[in-house]
Amino acid sequence: MDRTDTQAGLGPRRLAWNAVNETLKRRVPFDDVMEELARDERLSARDEALARAIAIVTFRRLGTIGWALRERLSKGTRDERLLHLLAIGAAQILFLDVPDHAAVDTAVQLAQGDHRLRHAGGLINAVLRRVAREREAILATGDPWLDTPGWLEQRWIAQYGEDVAAKIAEAHRSTASVDLTVKADGSAWAERVGGLLLPTGSVRLTERTAIRDLPGYAEGGWWVQDAAAALPARLLAPQPGERIADLCAAPGGKTAQLAAAGADVLAVDRSAKRLKRLDENLARLGLSARTRAIDAEKLDEPPFDAILLDAPCSATGTIRRHPDVAWTKGDEDVAKLAALQARLLDKAADLLKVGGRLVYCTCSLEAEEGESQAEAFLARHSDFARQPIDASEIGGLAECLTPEGDMRTLPFHLILPDSDRSGLDGFFAARFVKQPSP
């Protein structure tokens, strides 16, 4: 690859660098930052995919990368932009199929194009070339906690114990698979898309490919949804004609499940923009649901037969899929979101008919957003009883049930013969039934 080639590769590296920098500086979701910045770069789909891959692996292995750089920066640096530029360069060298010289040269050129970092070209060249020379030694470290920030390490050890917590940390070093929820006939769709039918009913793709190019996309035969995320709607057991509210509904995978079952669904979300995307997804799938852009706490509707509350949460259960979460969230976010979840649960209780079903779920690994939240809800609402979940309802995954009968999936659950295709998002779900007044 000559200098012309590396210059041609500057666009995706610049986008990855800026996206990593802005995500960590602003502590906002990477996907939102990427969407915002990609509009300005105007890259090809291939180059944007490269930028995304570089940024994602940087977040996924940020601890390892940071350690490797600190060991090789003799004087250290407090310049965050320089550190992030070094990080995306090291990520390519250590974890992506990118020629070393391309990763080094593009990082140097990006620095030379930034008036604040023009002086750093020599440093970047020296550090990244050393990373390349010492790749094997860097990758030989076996500490499962190296890529997990301290706030999560302490939490998970306290909640799950050292052995389980270490398995969670190790699972987060691997890439999440892509799962599909199908309208019907999962085995046939698995064959058509070249996937694997999971015991839970989802179809797991075995090859990386453009989603829009897969059979069934245009005809609306399926939608992308992690296998664990597909379970709460199934636990609600929607029936044709039932009035069901999907609170905090976007991006809409669970809404689609409820609508596909024939329920009369009201999808509620605060964001009109996200609801617009939900409507577009439903249109592709040939499904329909009413939508309301409103804060669920302010919703005023006649009582529902069933309610699904997939509450806003810290999303620590999705770190395999969204590794930026580990570095942009903190203890304060968990506490703030747990308070919101409690308010939303109380609102859902008011909106439910006597005899109605409520499924509460979060894609969090934190007890405050799961087990503790469920217990607190039952303590506040004597007119609700837990309806325990049976392993047969979740594909026989008995290891994903708590002693109380709630569902708790962990990133290392669902072990498959192909270890690269194993795992689930971390999810919690509890099911309640509203009792008649005494």
pLDDT tens by residue, 22-40: 999 999 999 999 999 998 8
pLDDT, the chain, mean = 94
pLDDT in tens, 323-333: 999 999 999 99
Q: Is the pLDDT of residue 8 over 80?
A: no
Q: Is residue 147 part of a domain?
A: no
Tokens read off for 194: 């070249």
What digits encode the pLDDT tens for the residues 185-218? 999 999 999 999 999 999 999 988 889 999 999 9
Statement to judge: residues 131 and 234 lie in one domain = no
pLDDT-derived band at 6 (thresholds 50, 70, 90) equals: low
How high is the pLDDT of residue 7? 67
Provide the domain limits for residue 120. 3-139
Query: Phi-psi bin for 422: left (phi > 0), alpha (psi -120 to 50), beta?
Result: beta
First to last CA, the chain: 77
Q: What percent of the chain has pLDDT over 70?
A: 98
Q: Which of 87-91, 118-122, 309-313 has the lowest mean pLDDT?
A: 118-122
Interval 368-383 mean pLDDT? 98
Please tell me the predicted confidence (pLDDT) of residue 219.
93
Do 232 and 377 reside in the same domain of the chain? Answer: yes
Catalytic machinery residues: 363
Alpha-carbon gap, residue 279 to 251, rounded angstroms: 9
Residue 339 identity: A
Domain match, 287 and 394 both: yes
Pair 250, 120 in one domain:
no
Give the end of a domain, one of 139, 155, 182: 139
pLDDT at 346 over 60: yes
238 and 336 inside one domain: yes
Instruction: Tell me, yes or no, whether 246 and 376 share the same domain.
Output: yes
pLDDT for position 2: 44
Q: Report the CATH number at residue 20.
A: 1.10.940.10
Is 401 contained in some domain? yes
Asked if the structure places residue 219 within a domain, the reply is no
Residues 135 and 232 in one domain: no
Residue 146 maps to a domain: no
Residues 257 and 402 placed together within one structural domain of the fold = yes
Show which of 90, 115, 139 is a domain's final residue: 139
Asked if residue 247 and residue 133 are part of one domain, the reply reads no
Whether residue 86 is contained in a domain is answered as yes
pLDDT at 53: 96
Domain count, the chain: 2
* Residue 142: per-residue pLDDT: 74
The answer to whether residue 32 is domain-embedded is yes
Q: What confidence score (pLDDT) does residue 1 get? A: 41
Task: Kindly state whether residues 287 and 407 are assigned to the same domain.
Answer: yes
Q: Which has more pLDDT, 6 or 164?
A: 164
Three-state SS sequence of the chain: CCHHHHHHCHHHHHHHHHHHHHHHHHCCCHHHHHHHHHHHHCCCHHHHHHHHHHHHHHHHCHHHHHHHHHHHCCCCCCCHHHHHHHHHHHHHHHHCCCCHHHHHHHHHHHHHCCCCCHHHHHHHHHHHHHHHHCHHHHHCCCCCCCCCCHHHHHHHHHHHCHHHHHHHHHHCCCCCCCEEEECCCHHHHHHHHCEEECCCCCEEECCCCCHHHCCCCCCCCEEECCCCCCHHHHHHCCCCCCEEEEECCCCCHHHHHHHHCCCEEEEEECCHHHHHHHHHHHHHHCCCCEEEECCHHHCCCCCEEEEEEECCCCCHHHCCCCCCHHHHCCHHHHHHHHHHHHHHHHHHHHCEEEEEEEEEEECCCCHHHCHHHHHHHHHHCCCEEECCCCHHHHCCCHHHECCCCCEEECCCCCCCCCHHHCCCCCEEEEEEEECCCC
Contact 309, 15 (CB under 8 A): no
Which pLDDT score is estimated for 5?
47
CATH number of the domain that 394 lies in? 3.40.50.150
User: Tell me: the pLDDT tens digits for 211-262?
Assistant: 999 999 999 999 999 999 999 999 999 999 999 999 999 999 999 999 999 9
Residues 31-41 as b or e (16 or more Cβ within 10 Å = b): eebbeebbeee
More confident call, 398 vs 4: 398
Identify the band that residue 3 occupies on the pLDDT scale cut at 50, 70 and 90: very low
Query: Same domain, yes or no, for 385 and 242?
Result: yes
398 and 287: one domain?
yes
At 141, the pLDDT band (50, 70, 90 cuts) reads confident
Q: Which of 118, 139, 160 is the last residue of a domain?
A: 139
Is 144 contained in some domain? no
Residue 199 domain flag: no
